[in-house]
Amino acid sequence: MSIMEDLYPSRQAETPSISERPDPVVYGDMAAISGKPLSLAELQFYEEHGYLDFAGFFSEAELRPYQEELTRLWERDDITTWPEVITEPGSDEVRSIFYIHQSNDVLRRLLCDRRLVAIVSQLLGSEVYIHQSRINYKRGFDGKEFYWHSDFETWHIEDGMPRMRAISCSISLTENNEHNGPLMVIPGSHMTYVSCVGQTPEEHYKDSLKKQEYGVPDHQSMNLLVAANGIVTPRGPAGSVTFFDCNIMHGSNSNITPWARSNIFCVYNSVDNVLVEPFGGQKPRPDFIATRQDVSPLQPA
């Protein structure tokens, strides 16, 4: 067990619970916006709602080499043999490719884009490093869902992330519309922490990255969160970017349309919030899921 105080216990009690978040949402000085990418209104929106959505953040020309790289990786014959590749439940179709910030120079340039790094650094009030990165391929007709969850609950229990000082960034490489399984968030849900039930098995990640069964919220908690806050679906063309707080409740439906919904997903963590021993008592998950080795400040490209 970690020797640090556990402010966010979960998967210990027999019943779930909801508690208020003790951590800030915006760590940076909201009054010091001169020369910073986000306005005071955007900072206030993020603090209240837990996300920011920018349609068309990247141009078509900027996006093209990254789209080509997604296709190139998908078409590799040996792709499913890589340890950082996760397939869909019940098939050999690629669901996600992790660790792209370390294994792929093309995609690393995207994740180090100075505009992205400036935004997350302003929100987190510090320099950042990449905690996790991956491609999510949600192909047409058979791309499976990602059930409701708070990322922080898993990162805290299974990886040892101490505090809520990380931001997820979803970069759309295809159009996100209301039909093809887009991201759904519950605005305001980042202000509460849902403690889940169920002792996590060892090496649970081998199953949870296909379909998560531990660390998922109970129905009563979900009913309360949705009744209080509703559900929002950020949508937009390829090149759109959504930033969302590490604790916001989010998920996505399966994709039964002909249109793929593929994205690059990156988690930026504060250099002041590096991982300790997992609070759930298990051995740490592999570095391709939760970075422990390279936590030096990210150098913007």
Model confidence pLDDT, tens digit, residues 165-204: 999 999 999 998 888 888 899 999 999 999 998 877 676 5
Backbone region of residue 69 per phi and psi (left: phi > 0; alpha: psi in -120 to 50; beta: other values): alpha
DSSP label at 116? H
Alpha-carbon distances of 264 from 39, 64, 107, 166, 288, rounded to whole Å: 25, 13, 9, 17, 15
Question: Is 289 part of a structural domain of the chain?
Answer: no
Amino acid at 241: V
Q: What is the model's pLDDT at position 144?
A: 75
Specify if 3 maps to a domain: no
How confident is the model over 4-49, as pLDDT tens digits? 789 999 998 889 999 999 999 999 999 999 999 999 999 999 999 9
Domain-embedded: residue 288: no
Residue 265's domain comprises 17-270
Rounded to 5°, the CA angle 212-157-28 comes to: 110
* pLDDT of the residue at 98: 95
Is residue 244 situated within a structural domain?
Answer: yes
Q: Does the residue 279 lie in any domain?
A: no
* Tens-place pLDDT, residues 276-290: 999 998 899 999 999
Residue 2 banded pLDDT, cuts 50, 70, 90: very low
Q: Which residues of 175-186 are buried (b: 16+ CB within 10 A; e: fewer)?
A: bbeeebbbbbbb
- Residue 8 in any domain: the answer is no
What confidence tier does 210 reach under pLDDT thresholds 50, 70, 90? very low
pTM of the model: 0.92
- Average the pLDDT over each of 159-163, 208-212, 279-283 and give the range with the smallest value: 208-212
Helix (H, G, I), strand (E, B) or coil at 95: strand
Contact present, 176 and 234 (Cβ < 8 Å): yes
pLDDT tens-digit series, residues 248-262: 999 988 878 888 889
CATH number of the domain residue 132 falls in = 2.60.120.620
pLDDT of residue 207: 56
Q: Per residue in 75-103, pLDDT tens?
A: 888 888 888 998 877 778 888 999 999 99
The structural domain count of the chain equals 1
132-159 per-residue burial string, b: 16 or more CB within 10 A, e: under 16: bbbbbbbbeeebbebebbbbbbbbbbbb
287, part of any domain: no
Residue 205 has pLDDT above 60, yes or no: no
Amino acid letter, 196: C
